[in-house]
């Protein structure tokens, strides 16, 4: 306390009396400094209190308890040649695993799931079931209320994984060495199946952790408690798989080198590049790629330390756009607008995801594309022009305030000396065969898929079977 303050306090002491003085001191000590909140302009951290972060990023669909699982399982009709199986890219025998849950053997159910889809735990969390198995469920047709296939799958796989059980074992060693590039869903599925067949597998990934988009690219509330990391650890229990992180294709090794040193190579490198808007001033402060924002959020130790804008604009209409927009809101952004250039029905994000975004307070604006970025140094506004469904501009424009802009208009394949492309992705025939002998590809980097985790798993698994067949004659 400086002398002046002391003197002032002494005056108080005299004027108000000792008791009142001490009361006041106590009140001063209790006062919380004014904290940033959702109204604070600019990109700032700590907009919410800790309890709000915890609540906002809690599990989107907590695991069913035993009774809930039995009730949900009982709704399955055990259909003949069930439509849900047909709708599953990995062909999981859904009626069988649900019956196994209903009869009190979730571990057996998990095995039914995992033998088709080794990342069944993650798929149970992130699959757009509303457009896959649950859309095909006959009870969706009958009542608009499908069997909760995704949540039942999670119940089964969580039960098994929490018991620390890995139900698969390796066949006798073949002596074959296979390189897998990319430790995402496709690469991991491929590696696991190859290891099961008795091959020795090395998985290379440029990032610090394996998991690919499961680890870096999915909204945090879909995979809480480090599930992606735990799932990889569990998957590797098969043995025979060496993971080398921090090793990137073209930077640390070439495809040609890998192909020479191994009996086969699987490319599951995903899409490493991000599409640009193609506007002037796209490099202004506050403009980021949504994938970077999502990855940063997933790896953040303390969500309160993550800065987010007050007025956030997300450009794009896919799952990445929704994940970025919703999480910006959950971090405390006041206004989040998701702007897509076509109609809602054309958005890659499912209706369920759109509803989720809306329920979290994201404003979805359709039929508008960005035409200019305004601001002095940092972005201040984004100008959009309304577009018809065929994307023809209407000439009518509007501006959205923005102190932070996330670009989520698609990702692109990156790499040199890759196999032949079909369009902008690696051309594949059959089960992931590329134009190069001994090189297979699958997941987002391969042409023909639908950029879903579950599809990547199916492609990795099927490529492994094909690699095995071709190596073992």
- Residue 453 in contact with residue 122, Cβ under 8 Å? yes
User: Is residue 144 involved in binding other proteins (CB under 8 A)?
Assistant: no
Residues 177-205 as b/e (b if ≥16 CB within 10 A, e otherwise) read: ebbbbbbbbbbbbbbbbbbbbbbbbbbbb
**In 168-256, at which residue ranges do the beta strands (DSSP E only) sit?**
177-181, 200-205, 241-245
For other proteins, the closer of residues 26 and 67 by Cβ is 67
Q: Is the dihedral of CA 119, 125, 128, 133 positive or negative?
A: positive
Phi then psi for residue 106, to 5 deg, are: -65, -25
79 contacts other proteins (rule: CB under 8 A): yes
CA–CA dist 351, 98 (Å, integer) = 26
Query: Could you tell me the smallest distance in angstroms from the CB atom of residue 72 to other proteins?
Result: 10
Q: Which of 472, 445, 443 is nearest to 460 (CA)?
A: 443
User: Which CB, 67 or 251, lies closer to other proteins?
Assistant: 67
Is 103 a residue that touches other proteins (CB under 8 A)? no
Q: How far is the CB of 136 from other proteins (least distance, A)?
A: 10
Are residues 281 and 402 in contact, defined by beta-carbon separation less than 8 angstroms?
A: no
Contact segment (CB under 8 A) with other proteins among 75-83, 126-134, 350-358, 442-450 equals 75-83
With CB under 8 A as the rule, give the number of residues binding other proteins: 15
Three-state secondary-structure class, residue 334: coil
In sign, the C-alpha dihedral spanning 86, 265, 447, 316 is positive
Gap between the Cα atoms of 215 and 248, Å rounded: 17
138 binds other proteins (CB under 8 A): yes
Q: Which of 81, 280, 345, 390 binds other proteins (CB under 8 A)?
A: 81
66 binds other proteins (CB under 8 A): no
Candidates 67-75, 230-238, 279-287, 376-384: pick the segment binding other proteins (CB under 8 A).
67-75
Going through 305-444 in order, the beta strands assigned E by DSSP cover 311-315, 335-339, 362-365, 368-374, 381-387, 393-401, 404-407, 411-412, 421-422, 425-426, 439-441
Segment near other proteins (CB under 8 A), from 9-17, 138-146, 222-230, 331-339?
138-146
Q: How many CB atoms lie within 10 A of CB 35?
A: 11
If the CB atoms of residues 68 and 130 are measured against other proteins, the closer one turns out to be: 68
Q: Which of 10, 22, 77, 398 touches other proteins (CB under 8 A)?
A: 77
- 13 vs 71, which CB is nearer to other proteins? 71
Q: Which window, 70-78, 368-376, 385-393, 435-443, contacts other proteins (CB under 8 A)?
A: 70-78
**Between 83 and 198, CB nearer to other proteins:** 83
Using the contact rule CB under 8 A, the part of the chain among 123-131, 133-141, 302-310, 388-396 near other proteins is: 133-141
Contact between 67 and other proteins per CB under 8 A: yes
Which of 44, 45, 52, 70 contacts other proteins by CB under 8 A?
70
Find the shortest distance in angstroms from Cβ 137 to other proteins.
Answer: 9
User: Of the candidates 171, 191, 119, which has an alpha carbon nearest to the alpha carbon of residue 457?
Assistant: 119
Interface residue with other proteins among 20, 74, 302, 420 (CB under 8 A) is: 74
Does residue 142 bind other proteins (CB under 8 A)?
A: yes
Residue with smaller CB distance to other proteins, 132 or 463: 132
Distances (CA, A) of 133 to 124, 210, 454: 11, 28, 12
Which listed range, 36-44, 73-81, 297-305, 379-387, lies at the site for other proteins (CB under 8 A)? 73-81
From 81-89, 326-334, 343-351, 369-377, span contacting other proteins (CB under 8 A): 81-89
Closest C-alpha among 33, 31, 36, 30 to residue 304 = 36
Cβ partners under 8 Å of residue 292, min gap 6: 274
* Cβ at position 93, least distance to other proteins in Å: 15
**441: helix, strand or coil:** strand
Conformational region of residue 286, where left means phi above 0, alpha means psi within -120 to 50, and beta covers everything else: left
Site string (281-300) toward other proteins, x via CB under 8 A: --------------------
* 71 near other proteins, judged by CB under 8 A: yes
Residues 6+ positions from 60 with CB-CB distance below 8 Å = 125, 219, 221, 222, 356
Q: Does 82 bind other proteins (CB under 8 A)?
A: yes
Chain contacts with other proteins (rule: CB under 8 A): 67, 70-71, 74, 77-83, 138-139, 141-142
């Amino acid at each position: 306390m400086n002398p002046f303050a002391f003197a002032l306090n002494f005056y108080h002491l005299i004027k108000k009396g000792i008791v009142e003085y001490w009361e006041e001191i106590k009140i001063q000590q209790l006062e919380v400094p004014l904290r940033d909140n959702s109204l604070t302009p600019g990109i700032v951290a700590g907009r919410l209190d800790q309890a709000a972060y915890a609540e906002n990023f809690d599990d989107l669909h907590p695991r069913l308890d035993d009774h809930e699982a039995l009730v949900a399982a009982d709704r399955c009709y055990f259909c003949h040649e069930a439509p849900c199986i047909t709708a599953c890219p990995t062909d999981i025998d859904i009626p069988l695993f649900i019956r196994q849950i209903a009869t009190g053997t979730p571990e057996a159910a998990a095995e039914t799931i995992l033998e088709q889809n080794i990342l069944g735990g993650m798929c149970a969390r992130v699959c757009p079931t509303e457009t896959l198995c649950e859309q095909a469920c006959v009870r969706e047709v009958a009542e608009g209320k499908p069997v909760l296939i995704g949540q039942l799958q999670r119940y089964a796989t969580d039960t098994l994984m929490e018991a620390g059980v890995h139900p698969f074992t390796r066949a006798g060693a073949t002596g074959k060495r296979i390189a897998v590039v990319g430790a995402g869903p496709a690469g991991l599925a491929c590696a696991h199946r190859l290891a099961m067949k008795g091959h020795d597998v090395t998985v290379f990934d440029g990032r610090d952790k394996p998991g690919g988009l499961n680890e870096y690219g999915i909204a945090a509330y879909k995979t809480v408690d480090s599930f992606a990391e735990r799932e990889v650890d569990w998957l590797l229990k098969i043995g025979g798989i060496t993971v080398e992180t921090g090793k990137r294709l073209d930077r640390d090794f070439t495809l040609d080198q890998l192909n020479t040193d191994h009996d086969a190579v699987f490319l599951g490198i995903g899409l490493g590049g991000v599409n640009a808007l193609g506007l002037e001033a796209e490099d202004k402060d506050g403009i980021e790629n949504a994938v970077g924002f999502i990855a940063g959020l997933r790896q953040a130790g303390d969500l309160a330390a993550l800065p987010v804008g007050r007025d956030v604009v997300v450009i794009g209409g896919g799952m990445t756009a929704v994940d970025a927009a919703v999480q910006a809101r959950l971090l405390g952004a006041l206004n989040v607008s998701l702007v897509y250039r076509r109609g809602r029905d054309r958005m890659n994000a499912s209706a369920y995801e759109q509803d989720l975004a809306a329920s979290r307070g994201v404003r979805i604006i359709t039929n508008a594309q960005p035409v200019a970025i305004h601001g002095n140094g940092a972005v201040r506004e984004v100008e959009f022009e309304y577009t018809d469904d065929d994307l023809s501009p209407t000439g009518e424009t509007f501006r959205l305030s923005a102190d932070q802009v996330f670009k989520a208009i698609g990702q692109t394949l990156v790499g040199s000396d890759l196999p032949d492309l079909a369009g902008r992705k690696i051309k594949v025939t059959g089960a992931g065969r590329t134009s190069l002998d001994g090189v297979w590809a699958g997941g987002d980097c391969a042409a023909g898929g639908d950029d879903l985790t579950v599809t990547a798993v199916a492609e990795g698994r099927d490529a492994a079977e094909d690699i095995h067949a071709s190596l073992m004659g």
